[in-house]
Chain A
Amino acid sequence: MPPETTYLAAISDGLREEMRRDQSVMCIGEDIGAFGGAFKVTDGFFEEFGSDRVLDAPLAEHAIIGAAVGAAVEGMRPVCEMQFADFISCGFDQLVNVAAKLHYRQGVAVPMVVRLPSGGGFSGGAVHSQNPEAWFLQAPGLKVVAPATAADAKGLLASAIRDPNPVCYLEHKGLYRRIKGEVPEGEHVVPFGEARVAREGGELTVIAYGSSVHLALDAADELDEDIEVIDLRTLQPLDTEAILASVRKTSKVLVAHEATQSCGVGAEVSALISEHAFEDLDAPVRRLTTPDVPIPFSPPLEQAVLPQLEDMKEACRELLRY
């Protein structure tokens, strides 16, 4: 039985193993070299892999993403670190206009990963707490993944690095040290597009990803109800079959995510269900998300907008009663 590993260590281990396996994998980001990264994901990498493969970048996100595109088309497998997911806005043009479209426009594959420490819950304020996945989902050509467990953090990172496309890898900061789990040692690859049934149930489905998976599991346990929890794992590609199969089984659906509501993953999943499983529903599809506000700083304000365990329990109870 492998030992329990934190979500953070699983990312670090997964990245290190890919770099050992494949000489073309390289890291680029701010403070990732000698310092080991703001969250220490690349701690020790500089010593092991050297400055050619662990590149400290100036404070210039467009330069980081653009360099990754160029290196990727020239045979490398760059893994960029945004210090916070929020800062992808400063490299957005390179990501959505260059990286995302290059294969469609010119048949040039761009195998690169953008690691995005995302999410709130620690008074990071409006520009250190965002969950920007919906931005990427509107840019055809980007894959988007959001692991919830330590094992998936490692396995989805391996898939992201091996994928021939640009992949946005959302790692929730709130899970870094809080979430631990068994992580297979050695090679561990979790394929894209395969959602995970995190908890089996028959009366209600909670569809979630990232941090909201844990909120859903905790709520289901505390309520002690027959709730199924689907962990999407990857948002592009989306496992529509797994979603629809669970809807047909339970007939009630709550979609939960920490990102803001409008035009988010919840909206997409809800539309998908109404298009393909309308007649299987016994209740309207509900969403539990952050309302459409910037993430406030002060703890009571932040807790008022980020979905809390009680909110999750109440949303489940409401649907179960319906």
Chain B
Amino acid sequence: MKRSDGAVVNGRARDDASAEVASGEDALTRGDRANLLRYMAMMRSSEERAITLYRQGKVPGSFYDGCGQEAISVGSAYVLGPRDRMCILHRDLGAHFVRGVTPDRYFANYMGRAGGVTAGKDGNMHFGARDLGCVGMVSMLPDMALVANGMAMAFKARHEPRVAMTYFGEGSTANGQWHEAMNFAAVHRLPVVFVLENNQFAYSTPNDLEFAADPVPRAETYGFPGVHVDGNDVEAVFEASREAAERARSGGGPTLIGCETMRMHGHGAHDDMSYVPEGMFEEWRARDPIDRYARRLVDEHGFSDDEVEAIRSEVRSYVEGCAEQALASPMPDPEEATRGVFADEPTPLGDGQAPWSRWATDAGSARAA
């Protein structure tokens, strides 16, 4: 079933490595393009709303967002099929939304409510929706790259054409676990896609104090492709991710996708970014991934200004409704604090939403917002 704008909202799940995959221009329908804009706008609107909640004192702890990086998580997650799996990081809210997390669960998580993804057990972006095939992050970076390897290892051991995808910032490439992750994935030729987000700063540390040589070409020396992508171009990210996922799915092993972008907000809401050189914001603001894609939809893909504005305003009111819902939701029962340390039984991960039209015919379970 398709909505009026062509977005897929229903389908049946099936993984099939041999399925025909269109590439380039043909890979995305009009509905897909509307979805890409929609999910990026949903990330921006949700994070803007959550910053307000933080400033109003409704968010305990701290606040982190991915303003300016929306194209990366949306464009990459959009290629995945339902049975693919993700480890999503703290600048990648869009990936959660693509996979089916609704903003109310995100707001509730930030506010420590019972209805948050972690039910109050963990905060801010430290969540993963088990029911949607995601294992959430920890602050030690890039730990999740090693976990994504393990998911891929399971797929490989069972000869399943499935893919694990994860993210890390360029700061993570300085950590020893990054080397372990890359090398292990390469040696075992694992079906994993590593998305590197170079947002120019690890907290306050600029690129030139993070590494002496660009980390992306290191992939080749580990034994798999590393590609550079404009991280503020959602279709470029999509295309690189599509190629990487298909390579992984067909037994070709890992890929490192290096996305150039800029973190337009502080490391956290407490960070005034005084370390950012003059002019850098202006330069990157001109390349805003959402405004840029909205223009492109009008200029190149036959969308009208009204259609684009309708998508953005629909998202804003949807997000506001989700925020109100989260605000009205209860805090967790203190009795829960000591529960759940141990599991009583296995808890299989559920499948994620897969809104890409490719999955509509042979896969799906898409529930595009």
Q: Please report A residues at the B interface, Cβ cutoff 8 Å.
A: 26, 28, 52-53, 55, 57-58, 60, 62-63, 65-76, 78, 93-94, 97-98, 101-111, 140-141, 143, 164-165
Contact = CB atoms under 8 A, between A and B. Distances in A.
Given A62-B177, A109-B347, A71 B157 contact: yes
Given A107-B130, A109-B347, A165-B343, A74 B118 contact: no
Contacts of B174: none
Given A63-B149, A141-B341, 16 more contacts: A55-B188, A58-B184, A66-B145, A66-B177, A67-B146, A67-B147, A68-B150, A69-B146, A69-B147, A70-B135, A73-B135, A98-B143, A98-B144, A105-B118, A106-B135, A164-B343
B270 to A, nearest CB: 23
A93 B177 CA distance: 10
Contacts, number: 150
B177 A98 contact: no
B343 A109 contact: yes
B140 A74 contact: no
A62 B149 CA distance: 11
B150 A105 contact: no
Contact of B143 (A55, A94, A109): A94
Interface in B110-149: 117-119, 121-122, 126-128, 130, 135-136, 138, 140, 143-149
A62 B127 contact: no
Contacts of A141: 341-342
Given A73-B135, A98-B143, A141-B341, A67 B150 contact: yes
19 contacts: A52-B157, A58-B184, A62-B146, A63-B180, A63-B184, A66-B145, A69-B147, A73-B135, A73-B150, A78-B150, A93-B177, A94-B146, A103-B343, A104-B340, A106-B127, A108-B347, A140-B341, A141-B341, A165-B343
B342 A66 contact: no
Interface residues of B, number: 48
B269 interface: no
A125 B154 CA distance: 37
Interface in B178-201: 180-181, 183-184, 187-188
B346 interface: yes
Which 6 A-B residue pairs are closest in the complex by CB-CB distance?
Answer: A70-B150, A66-B146, A109-B343, A74-B154, A67-B150, A63-B184
Contact of B164 (A62, A70, A104): A70
Contacts of A109: 343, 345-347
A52 B181 CA distance: 18
A103 B128 contact: no
A313 B146 CA distance: 48
Contacts of B153: 28, 55, 67, 70-71, 76
B156 interface: yes
A162 B304 CA distance: 58
Nearest to B176: A62
A190 B225 CA distance: 48
A178 B277 CA distance: 67
A76 B147 CA distance: 13
B155 interface: yes
Contacts of A111: 343, 346
Given A108-B135, A109-B345, A164-B345, A58 B187 contact: yes
A98 B138 contact: yes
A108 B130 CA distance: 7
A252 B342 CA distance: 33
A70 B86 CA distance: 10
